[in-house]
């Protein structure tokens, strides 16, 4: 089911079609079609296409938080807000009747992303990430974390700050080269931090990669081995990690 089939083209975020890499009426990137199969909803925005002024789509709380941010941080923050509002309307088309600036995507007590009230927050977990180029926002009935990264060479250069000796050895054997392996390891650790709501510093040394693969990896945290899926989209890598304890989905990855 396409997001465009369910959303009225007159709603106040209809202009976002031009900013979306997924869903895209003119055809999605093949890797994003696969990523979408793992989620209840997936939104991918291209930052270079975002308009400068997005104020009119924000709640007062969102505006207040954005006003304290530098330009780069603010762009990602705003893209997550718009992504969540669009996702809410995808999951619950009735949300189109509520103006975007009334859809609150902030949590009062934490920096975690939120679906607006009455958009299914009791049913879905949401996760979000942004890098220089893209913002990704997804919903799932399973607990998960999402991440987007692009600086593989930098990740490998910084390997001693986040990879164990064993992970470095696995990276040296990786078919696509150690830089792309290091990016996968970093991204797995960030996605675990979000899925388990732990500090990134904790995730760095307590998450152990058991397998690094081009499309799937395995990340151990405490006693659970978590399934990880990677999607290469243009120059970026999107990683989705599911907490293994309560997976209800059927995996249909075919890429």
Q: If binding is defined by CB under 6 A, does position 154 make contact with ligand COA?
A: no
| Ramachandran bin of 19, using left for φ above 0, alpha for ψ from -120 to 50, beta for the remaining angles | alpha
Return the H-helix or E-strand segment holding 61: helix 60-67
List the beta bridge partners of residue 46.
134
Q: If binding is defined by CB under 6 A, does position 60 make contact with ligand COA?
A: no
- Please provide residue 44's backbone torsions phi and psi, each rounded to the nearest 5 degrees: -125, 120
Q: How many CB atoms lie within 10 A of CB 24?
A: 16
Q: If binding is defined by CB under 6 A, does position 197 make contact with ligand COA?
A: yes
Count residues contacting ligand COA (CB under 6 A)? 19
Q: Which of 224, 69, 65 is nearest to 241 (CA)?
A: 224
Q: If binding is defined by CB under 6 A, does position 83 make contact with ligand COA?
A: no
HSE-up (13 A, CA, CB side) for residue 130: 21
Residue with smallest beta-carbon separation from ligand COA: 200
User: CA quadruple 216, 23, 16, 82: dihedral positive or negative?
Assistant: negative
Distance CA(228)–CA(213), nearest Å, equals: 9
Q: If binding is defined by CB under 6 A, does position 242 make contact with ligand COA?
A: no
Q: If binding is defined by CB under 6 A, does position 107 make contact with ligand COA?
A: no
Stretch that binds ligand COA, among 3-11, 13-21, 123-131, 216-224 (CB under 6 A): 123-131
Q: If binding is defined by CB under 6 A, does position 130 make contact with ligand COA?
A: yes
Identity of the residue, 198 or 247, whose beta carbon is nearer to ligand COA in the bound complex: 198
Stretch that binds ligand COA, among 11-19, 158-166, 195-203, 215-223 (CB under 6 A): 195-203
Q: If binding is defined by CB under 6 A, does position 113 make contact with ligand COA?
A: yes
Identity of the residue, 82 or 91, whose beta carbon is nearer to ligand COA in the bound complex: 82
Provide, rounded to whole angstroms, the least separation between the CB of residue 221 and ligand COA. 13
Q: If binding is defined by CB under 6 A, does position 229 make contact with ligand COA?
A: no
Stretch that binds ligand COA, among 165-173, 197-205, 215-223, 241-249 (CB under 6 A): 197-205
Torsion of CA 42, 23, 176, 210, to 10 degrees: 10
Distance CA(113)–CA(95), nearest Å, equals: 18
- Residue of 28, 147, 167, 227 interacting with ligand COA (CB under 6 A): 147
User: CA quadruple 31, 148, 72, 4: dihedral positive or negative?
Assistant: positive
Q: If binding is defined by CB under 6 A, does position 111 make contact with ligand COA?
A: yes
Return the structure tokens found at 41: 């909803």
Largest interatomic CA distance in the chain: 55
Identity of the residue, 193 or 233, whose beta carbon is nearer to ligand COA in the bound complex: 193
Q: List residues binding ligand COA (CB under 6 A).
A: 76-77, 80, 110-113, 127-130, 147, 190, 193-194, 197-200
């Amino acid at each position: 089911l396409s997001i465009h089939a369910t959303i009225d083209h007159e709603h106040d975020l209809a202009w976002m079609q031009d900013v979306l890499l997924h869903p895209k009426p003119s055809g999605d990137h093949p890797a994003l079609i696969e990523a979408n199969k793992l989620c209840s909803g997936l939104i991918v925005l291209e930052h270079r296409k975002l308009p400068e002024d997005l104020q009119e789509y924000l709640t007062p709380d969102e505006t207040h938080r954005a006003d304290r941010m530098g330009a780069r941080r603010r762009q990602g923050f705003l893209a997550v807000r718009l992504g969540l509002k669009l996702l809410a309307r995808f999951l619950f088309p009735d949300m189109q009747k509520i103006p975007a600036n009334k859809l609150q995507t902030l949590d009062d007590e934490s920096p975690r992303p939120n679906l607006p009230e009455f958009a299914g927050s009791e049913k879905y977990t949401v996760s979000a990430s942004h890098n220089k180029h893209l913002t990704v926002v997804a919903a799932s009935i399973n607990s998960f974390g999402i991440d987007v990264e692009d600086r593989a060479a930098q990740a490998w250069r910084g390997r001693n700050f986040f990879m164990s000796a064993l992970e470095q050895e696995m990276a040296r054997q990786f078919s696509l080269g150690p830089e792309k392996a290091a990016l996968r390891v970093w991204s797995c650790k960030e996605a675990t931090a979000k899925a388990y709501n732990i500090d990134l510093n904790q995730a760095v040394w307590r998450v152990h990669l058991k397998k690094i693969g081009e499309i799937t990896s395995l990340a151990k945290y405490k006693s659970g081995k978590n399934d990880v899926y990677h999607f290469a989209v243009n120059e970026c890598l999107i990683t989705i990690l599911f907490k293994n304890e309560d997976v209800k989905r059927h995996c249909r990855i075919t890429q």
